[in-house]
């Protein structure tokens, strides 16, 4: 089954890391791509240029995923300027680690607001038009922390587990409308998010990865692109770990 060309994809948190790699990979596959970011306008502009050079239309929009109205505006602009949204990828996310004993309310709410409410806002803004057209697919980026839990990350693990429950419920709800929803759950991926980890934490993590290295953002993007394609037409409600075996 060949992929239909000229699909439109919307990627949250597209300016850096895994989201950035997904923008480029989806553009390579012929998608027109809109992506949002929160603050790093230089990174967003550079990506807009790089992805447009692949011969597709690219739209970078500053929109904080915690702001429902801004996200609705992002979806509307995407539909107006690029056309109906076929693929939604939610990659915007942060960490703010602390043992529960020291966790501040601000850390808790910040992580839940961006990582979980953000996914809700993006999917909520896109779902009605997809249901009307009876097609579409959603790929939400969770984490192995959402499946197994990570010490010092109760906030992050809860947000990422929430994404898995959300996506499974959405797969049941939207499946009858021809919409698929899946989760990608990465392990340690080499991005800005993990570059701040202290040496000791990184060394311990590397020792527990059977493949002996961190993953690359483009490897996660390959999985996202596969799930966005017609080759994954019978896959919905699934969680795909991409972690070099760290969870075995």
Q: DSSP of 85-118, one letter per residue? A: --EEEE-------B-GGG--HHHHHHHHIIIIIH
Work out which of 3, 76, 192, 230 binds ligand NAP, going by CB under 6 A. 192
* Candidate ranges 15-23, 127-135, 167-175, 202-210; the one touching ligand NAP (CB under 6 A): 15-23
Closest contact distance (angstroms) between CB of 192 and ligand NAP is 4
- Phi, psi angle pair for 89, to nearest 5°: -125, 125
Binders of ligand NAP in range 114-133 (CB under 6 A): 114
Distance, in Å, from the CA atom of 117 to the CA atom of 145, rounded to the nearest integer, reads 17
Q: Which is nearer to ligand NAP, 103 or 112 (CB)?
A: 112
Scanning 1-9, 10-18, 50-58, 201-209 for contacts with ligand NAP by CB under 6 A, the matching segment is 10-18
Residues 55-94 that bind ligand NAP (CB under 6 A): 64-66, 91-94
Using CB under 6 A, pick the residue from 188, 209, 221, 224 that binds ligand NAP.
Answer: 188
Cα–Cα distance, 204 to 59 (Å, whole number): 40
Binding piece for ligand NAP, criterion CB under 6 A, among 34-42, 103-111, 130-138, 171-179: 34-42
Active site residue 156: yes
What is the rounded CA–CA span in Å between residue 246 and residue 74? 36
Choose the catalytic residue: 156, 177, 226, 234: 156
The span from the first CA to the last CA of the chain, in angstroms, equals 33
User: How far apart are the C-alpha atoms of 24 and 219, rounded to whole Å?
Assistant: 12
Catalytic residue positions, numbered: 156
């Amino acid at each position: 089954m060949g992929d239909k060309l000229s699909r439109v994809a919307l990627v949250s948190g597209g300016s850096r890391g895994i989201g950035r790699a997904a923008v480029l990979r989806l553009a390579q596959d012929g998608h027109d791509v809109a992506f949002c970011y929160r603050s790093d306008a230089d990174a967003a502009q550079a990506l807009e240029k790089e992805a447009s050079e692949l011969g597709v239309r690219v739209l970078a929009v500053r929109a904080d995923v915690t702001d429902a109205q801004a996200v609705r505006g992002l979806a509307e602009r995407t539909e107006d300027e690029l056309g109906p949204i076929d693929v939604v990828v939610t990659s915007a996310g942060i960490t703010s680690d602390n043992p529960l004993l020291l966790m501040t309310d601000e850390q808790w709410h910040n992580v839940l607001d961006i990582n979980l409410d953000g996914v809700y806002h993006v999917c909520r803004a896109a779902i009605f038009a997809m249901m009307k057209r009876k097609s579409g697919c959603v790929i939400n980026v969770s984490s192995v922390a959402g499946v197994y839990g990570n010490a010092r990350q109760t906030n992050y693990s809860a947000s990422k587990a929430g994404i898995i429950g959300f996506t499974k419920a959405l797969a049941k709800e939207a499946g009858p409308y021809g919409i698929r929803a899946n989760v990608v759950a990465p392990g340690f991926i080499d991005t800005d998010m993990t570059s701040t980890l202290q040496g000791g934490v990184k060394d311990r993590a590397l020792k527990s990865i059977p493949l002996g290295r961190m993953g690359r953002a483009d490897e996660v993007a390959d999985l996202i692109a596969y799930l966005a394609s017609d080759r994954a037409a019978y896959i919905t409600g699934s969680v795909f770990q991409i972690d070099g075996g760290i969870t075995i």
